[in-house]
């Protein structure tokens, strides 16, 4: 793809101005900002072509559409420092973006912020096999890190279906979770240290990966999960974990969520080799069947299935069989599917990993990402059924998620007013169950108005104070989080 570029030379800048749309031409702050950074960034780092910017201003679900007149894509840490300093000086706001895979509108500019994309900041992706750590630039994709780590039989603990596009910086900024949180935790457990540029233009010290460091308050964990409201992450050190020698998967049918919850508890007490307990509702299975033209091998009746994965250095297949023998009744055992080798394993994960895309083909879903104490999952499920019934066939609900973490993705499809009604009711329900309105996708821009349901006034005030300390005037991500 050919990028139209604003060059460093003043003559080219004039050309760039001529090419810009009316807002840009008449916005003196933005023009000053371009002049300030043009001399500092490489050719190709500044893009003003609306056609080229457009994919960066719409989110993955196509639901959130923002606007921006300018995209900047620095290639290194210093470039990010220059951009943030220039933005402060020229009073320009920045929207940070990694792989633009946010599912909560957190990566899209809402009010003409300049897009600061980290996608070109991706030279460094080094794995140290002696310390089991990786040092990576923020724009490196998860898939690339997985490839590098695999050379040493290692992997990052966090894995996501969007691994081909999701960047490590974005994953850290949103404290991404994914498929194996049960075993390895979310990004906060993986990040050892990071380098960043704070919203006041100052830099954090070098990224030094000390496995242990108790020299006072640590700032990295604060940045992780702050959704770019404090700093731009430029480089990270991550813990890696060994790839298990063998894996085995079972897909087990259940009639009712509480049965699945007690099965999950039972198998977790039996072994420490479980690497995933994922949940797929019957509706989600039907959506994948329809979208992919395939038939699910387990016959009715069932309401949900659990995908249970064992990853161990012993014989995962034997371990899985023993676990299932000790925990399933006769009829469940007969309909359980087993994946014991590469092909059958992938065949079972297919049902889980195809859901998001399959839902997307049906329309633009409103994606809720809920967590409640695991004991309350049954009540949550039933109450959502009641809400759906109350809307008399006007709401489609597709549920799946990470049962082992008490995290259910509830995807709503229907007319916009119906979605809004259901959303409010479901969030109120979750708050009443002491749950969270987002377990892993983050608040972004879509859930801001509901944050007060699950955080106290005082907590929100403290968050605002923190943002004001590190990102005064909210140069970074002014419309994200709160």
Query: What are the residues binding ligand MLT (CB under 6 A)?
Result: 103, 161, 356, 367, 409
Distance CA 103, CA 328 (A): 36
Q: Write down the least CB distance from residue 396 to ligand MLT, Å.
A: 15
Nearer to ligand MLT, 148 or 396 (CB): 396
Nearer to ligand MLT, 68 or 411 (CB): 411
- Measured on CA atoms in the order 383, 388, 391, 392, is the torsion positive or negative? negative
Nearer to ligand MLT, 69 or 309 (CB): 309
Q: Write down the least CB distance from residue 337 to ligand MLT, Å.
A: 20
Which residues lie below 8 Å from residue 14, measured CB to CB, with a gap of 6+? Answer: none
Distance CA 118, CA 422 (A): 35
Q: Write down the least CB distance from residue 140 to ligand MLT, Å.
A: 20
Per DSSP, the chain holds a count of helices (H) and strands (E) of 20, 16
Q: How many Cα atoms occupy the beta-carbon half-sphere of 275 within 13 Å?
A: 22
Asked if 122 contacts 131 with a C-beta cutoff of 8 angstroms, the reply is no
Asked if 57 contacts 115 with a C-beta cutoff of 8 angstroms, the reply is yes
Distance CA 273, CA 293 (A): 34
According to DSSP H, which parts of 224-315 are helical? 257-270, 282-292
Nearer to ligand MLT, 110 or 356 (CB): 356
Nearer to ligand MLT, 161 or 338 (CB): 161
Q: Write down the least CB distance from residue 409 to ligand MLT, Å.
A: 4
Identify the CA nearest to 440 among candidates 162, 73, 197: 162
Distance CA 236, CA 194 (A): 4
Identify the CA nearest to 394 among candidates 410, 372, 379, 416: 416
Distance CA 88, CA 82 (A): 10
Q: Write down the least CB distance from residue 424 to ligand MLT, Å.
A: 20
Residue listed under structure tokens 């890696």: 240
Q: Looking at beta carbons, which residue is closest to ligand MLT?
A: 356
Q: Write down the least CB distance from residue 285 to ligand MLT, Å.
A: 15
Nearer to ligand MLT, 169 or 177 (CB): 177
Nearer to ligand MLT, 356 or 475 (CB): 356
Distance CA 325, CA 471 (A): 55
Q: Write down the least CB distance from residue 259 to ligand MLT, Å.
A: 22
According to DSSP H, which parts of 416-473 are helical? 416-432, 451-454, 457-470
Nearer to ligand MLT, 16 or 103 (CB): 103
Nearer to ligand MLT, 6 or 276 (CB): 276
- Measured on CA atoms in the order 154, 158, 164, 166, is the torsion positive or negative? negative
Q: Write down the least CB distance from residue 217 to ligand MLT, Å.
A: 31
Q: Write down the least CB distance from residue 278 to ligand MLT, Å.
A: 8
């Amino acid at each position: 793809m050919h990028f139209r570029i604003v060059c460093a030379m003043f003559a080219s800048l004039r050309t760039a101005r001529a090419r810009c749309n009316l807002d840009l031409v008449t916005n003196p702050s933005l023009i000053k900002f371009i002049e300030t950074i043009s001399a500092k960034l490489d050719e190709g780092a500044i893009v003003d072509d609306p056609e080229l910017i457009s994919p960066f201003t719409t989110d993955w679900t196509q639901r959130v559409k923002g606007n921006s007149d300018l995209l900047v894509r620095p290639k290194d840490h210093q470039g990010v420092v220059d951009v943030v300093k220039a933005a402060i000086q020229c009073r320009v706001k920045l929207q940070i973006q990694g792989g633009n895979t946010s599912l909560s509108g957190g990566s899209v500019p809402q009010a003409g912020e300049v897009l600061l994309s980290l996608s070109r900041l991706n030279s460094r992706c080094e794995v140290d096999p002696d310390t089991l750590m990786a040092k990576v630039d923020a724009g490196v994709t998860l898939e690339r890190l997985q490839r590098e780590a695999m050379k040493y039989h290692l992997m990052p603990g966090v894995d996501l279906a969007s691994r081909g596009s999701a960047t490590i910086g974005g994953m850290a900024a949103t404290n991404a979770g994914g498929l194996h949180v049960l075993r390895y935790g979310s990004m906060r457990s993986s990040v050892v240290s990071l380098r960043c540029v704070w919203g006041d233009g100052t830099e954090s010290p070098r990224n030094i990966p000390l496995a242990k460091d108790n020299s006072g308050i640590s700032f990295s964990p604060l940045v992780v999960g702050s959704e770019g409201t404090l700093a731009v992450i430029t480089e990270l050190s991550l813990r890696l974990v060994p790839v298990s020698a063998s894996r085995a998967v079972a897909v087990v049918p259940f009639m009712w969520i509480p049965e699945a919850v007690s099965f999950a508890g039972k198998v977790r007490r039996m072994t420490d080799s479980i690497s995933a307990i994922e949940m797929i509702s019957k509706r989600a299975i039907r959506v994948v069947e329809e979208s992919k033209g395939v038939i699910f091998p387990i016959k009715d009746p069932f309401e949900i299935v659990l995908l249970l994965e064992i990853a161990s250095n012993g014989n995962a297949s034997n371990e899985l069989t023993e676990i299932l023998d000790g925990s399933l009744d006769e009829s469940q055992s007969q309909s359980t599917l087993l994946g014991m080798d590469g092909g059958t394993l992938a065949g079972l994960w297919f049902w889980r990993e195809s859901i998001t895309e399959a839902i997307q083909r049906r329309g633009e879903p409103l994606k809720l990402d809920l967590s409640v104490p695991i004991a309350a999952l049954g009540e949550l499920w039933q109450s959502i059924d009641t809400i759906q019934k109350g809307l008399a066939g006007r709401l489609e609900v597709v549920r799946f998620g990470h049962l082992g973490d008490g995290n259910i993705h509830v995807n709503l499809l229907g007319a916009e007013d119906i979605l809004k009604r259901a959303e409010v009711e479901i969030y109120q329900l979750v708050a009443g169950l002491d749950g969270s309105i987002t377990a892993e996708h983050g608040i972004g821009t879509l859930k801001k108005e509901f944050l007060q349901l699950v955080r106290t006034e005082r907590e929100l005030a403290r968050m605002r104070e923190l943002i004001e300390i590190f990102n005064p005037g909210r140069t970074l991500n002014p419309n994200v989080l709160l």
